[in-house]
Structure 1
Amino acid sequence: MSMFGYPLVNVLGACLIITSMMVVLARTGRAAACLYSLQSLVLVGVLASLGAVTGSGELYTWSATAFATKVVLVPAILLFTLKKIGGEVPVDLPPKLNPMKSVALVAVEVFVCFVAVSGIDLPTAAAVKPTLAVSLAHFFIGLTCIVIQRSIFKQIFGYCLMENGSHVTLALLAPQAPELVEIGVATDAIFAVVILAVLVARMARYARTLNADDLCELKG
């Protein structure tokens, strides 16, 4: 199983990078929410595959929790926020970088993470170094999403990508971690998304803009 399982984990890790780029490059908030749900489904596959390879029953619980929270609940919260905002203010603002520059920047980040991981010698991550590099790259991809997006609604997805990356890193390095750890990670993510969604909705209602450049000029 391990001969088949670890390559599968690494293939799914590559899919995480592809789907994260799709989230960053999505033209609309609705498309980004749907693509984030797709990426989270890939994350569920990574966790379940790791569970099968390592024999960790905890990871099966993690995958079920991730499905409920990341595939279903978080996208639903974001789509509800979009519906609540309605047409009051523009949500789908163009990013600060064009798609080609964004892809090039992400490629550099992934390369740097692969170089960094190549020097790590951990028994728990020896067979899944590509996926470990991907999980670390997710932090920088999420940060990139926050920096290049003008729409503060789309910036929420940057946080979500960073959180997905930390989720995978934890699963790779500590597959036997108790379910309580997963509950803590999932709960923090949901509360953070709810708070950010409420802030975005209030900004749309009172500031009448979701443009981060405009909001930087607010005083007090």
Structure 2
Amino acid sequence: MGYQLVNLLGGLLIVTSTMVVISKSIKVAIRWYAVQSLILVGLLATLGNVTGASELLMWAVSAFVTKVVLVPLILSYAYRKMGEPSDLGLSSGIKPAWTICLIAVEVAICFAVVTQIKLPTAEVATPALAISFAHFFVGLSCIITQRNIMKQIFGYCLMENGSHVTLALLAPTAPEIVETGIATDAIFAVIIMSVVVLKIWRTYQSLDSHDLSDLKG
């Protein structure tokens, strides 16, 4: 029952990732990311209870502070500084329906790969492990297909969430300092990227990557 819940939460992770990518508003994307991070906390706590790894319970607490609270606050602050015009008139490089199909293909490929891995975790949590791997490609797809550079930050965040799940599934007893280090790096990365985006907005009044031709070398 425990691993079934882990797999269910993994499924919800990919659903929320899809919503983050296809959201047309930065504000909505931030909310979906916060929801995903809350699901990640639940997954870590459930996995910690199933495996008896107290380290994962500390990971869950750390993830709540950094991912559910701090990262959305940082992104929301940047968005408030720019206002709603920052996400108007921009569209993805591909249509939402094609984005959903692309994510489905990425998950299917990762699922096929995971079924070939001979590890205890891969046998009992195949869907969750496949989805954690797929998050790297989902995040990369978000970075590549989104014209709004603020939305591209979410691609990095999705990749980072996927790495957390992968690490938790494959090394549940890893020291808390490992997770803390990853989370701290992520927060500083989001802060730096948000500052850069704010400076671009104040200079060009646009977050459309197609308008930033002056940045080309």
TM above 0.5, one fold?
yes
Which secondary structure does the structure 2 equivalent of 1:210 belong to? coil
Q: 1:153 aligns with which of 150, 154, 167?
A: 150
Distance 1:132 1:181 in 2: 19
State the 4+ residue runs in structure 1 displaced beyond 3 angstroms.
Answer: none
After TM superposition, give the deviation of residue 217 of structure 1 in Å: 4.6
**Which of 140, 144, 158 pairs up with 1:143?**
140
Shift of 1:130: 1.0
After TM superposition, the score normalised by the length of structure 1 is: 0.95
Instruction: Give, in whole Å, the separation in 1 of the partners of 2:102 and 2:176.
Output: 35
The residue aligned with 1:183 is 180
Report whether the alignment pairs 1:94 with 2:91. yes
Normalising by the residue count of structure 2, what TM-score does the alignment of the two structures yield? 0.96
**SS of equivalent to 2:87:** coil
What is the alpha-carbon root mean square deviation over aligned residues? 1.2
1:74 alignment partner in structure 2: 71
Q: Which blocks of at least 5 consecutive residues in structure 1 are unaligned?
A: none
The question of 1:218 aligning with 2:207 is answered: no
SS in 1 for 2:210: helix
Q: Which moved more, 1:157-166 or 1:121-130?
A: 121-130
CA–CA separation in structure 2 for the residues paired with 1:146 and 1:37: 19
Question: Per-residue displacement from partner, 1:54-94 (whole Å, max 9, x unpaired)?
Answer: 0000000000010011011101100100011125x532421
Question: What CA distance in whole angstroms lies between the structure 2 residues aligned with 1:184 and 1:174?
Answer: 15
Deviations 1:116-169 (A, max 9, x none): 101001124321111000000011111111111100001100000000000000
Residues matched between the structures, number = 216
Alignment of 1:197 with 2:213, yes or no, is no
Structure 2: any 5+ residue segments left out of the alignment?
A: none
Is 2:30 the counterpart of 1:33?
Answer: yes
Q: Using the aligned pairs only, state the percent identity.
A: 56
In structure 2, relative to structure 1, the CA distance for the partners of 1:142 and 1:219 (3 Å cut) is closer
2:115/2:122 contact within 8 Å kept:
no
